[in-house]
């Protein structure tokens, strides 16, 4: 596998959030395999809010720390969740590039927004593999990279409404909401980082019951 250079991915993410400064997002996508995507760069489908009830399945982060998914995320505030696997060099790199743009836009601010990249390939995505990819994207502490392991990944993805024929053909997808109210908006496509940030900032403050 040959991963796209991080400077190119940075350009993709920044192009999504900087109108005109770096050309269109379509121009910055040149050289990336878009054949598996159902939408062109800059387009997204945003569905009505839905309630999700994930189980408290143990997840392990890039630092090897294991904790129940719900317990870990319940007090995280607004979250932007994406789905990826570390050996991907097409859709996931685009998705991670968009989250990189979000991470950079939030740098130095006081937004209580957490980013989550949840692995869909538990066989290969060890904590070490997650750490390597997180480092490639210079992920800040607000950006979590998680795996639910061989037993937990399928039921966790099912509970989040994530299904695909194969990991290679999944569409870019984001969930924006919080794990206190369990209310989320599902976004499919290639949104601008600023659009995801705006949606996360609109998530109402939730007091745990």
Q: How much is the pTM?
A: 0.79
The rounded percent of the chain whose pLDDT value lies above 70 is 72
**Coil, helix or strand at residue 128:** helix
pLDDT tens digit string along 57-105?
A: 999 999 999 999 999 999 999 999 999 999 876 666 788 999 999 999 9
pLDDT tens digit string along 121-170?
A: 999 999 999 999 999 999 999 999 999 999 999 999 999 999 877 676 66
The CATH number of 6-33+41-201, from 3.40.190.80, 3.40.50.720, 3.30.200.20, 3.40.30.10, is 3.40.30.10
Residue of 14, 50, 72 whose CA lies nearest to 186: 50
Q: Angle, to 10 degrees, between the axis of helix 91-106 and the axis of helix 193-201?
A: 60
- Boundaries of every domain in the chain: 6-33+41-201
pLDDT tens digit string along 3-30?
A: 444 434 444 444 444 333 333 333 443 4
Q: Which residues are annotated as a binding site for Cu cation?
A: 88, 92
Residue 65 has what pLDDT? 97
Q: Which residues are annotated as a binding site?
A: 88, 92
Dist CA 9 CA 23 (whole Å): 14
C-alpha distances out from residue 26 to 8, 156, 192, Å: 13, 33, 12
């Amino acid at each position: 596998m040959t991963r796209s250079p991080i400077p190119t991915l940075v350009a993709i993410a920044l192009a999504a959030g900087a109108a005109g400064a770096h050309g269109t997002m379509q121009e910055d996508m040149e050289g990336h395999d878009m054949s598996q995507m159902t939408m062109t760069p800059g387009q997204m489908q945003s569905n009505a809010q839905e309630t999700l009830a994930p189980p408290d399945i143990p997840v392990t982060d890039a630092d090897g720390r294991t904790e129940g998914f719900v317990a870990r995320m319940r007090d995280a505030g607004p979250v932007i969740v994406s789905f990826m696997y570390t050996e991907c060099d097409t859709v996931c790199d685009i998705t991670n590039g968009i989250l990189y743009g979000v991470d950079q836009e939030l740098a130095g601010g006081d937004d209580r927004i957490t980013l989550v990249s949840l692995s869909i390939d538990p066989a290969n995505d060890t904590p070490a593999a997650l750490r390597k990819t997180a480092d490639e994207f210079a992920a800040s502490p607000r950006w979590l990279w998680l795996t639910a392991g061989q037993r937990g990944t399928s039921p966790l993805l099912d509970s989040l409404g994530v299904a695909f024929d194969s990991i290679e053909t999944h569409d870019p997808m984001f969930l924006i909401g919080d794990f206190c109210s369990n209310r989320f908006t599902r976004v499919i496509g290639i949104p601008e980082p600023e659009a995801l940030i705006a949606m996360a900032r609109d998530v109402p403050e939730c007091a745990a019951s």
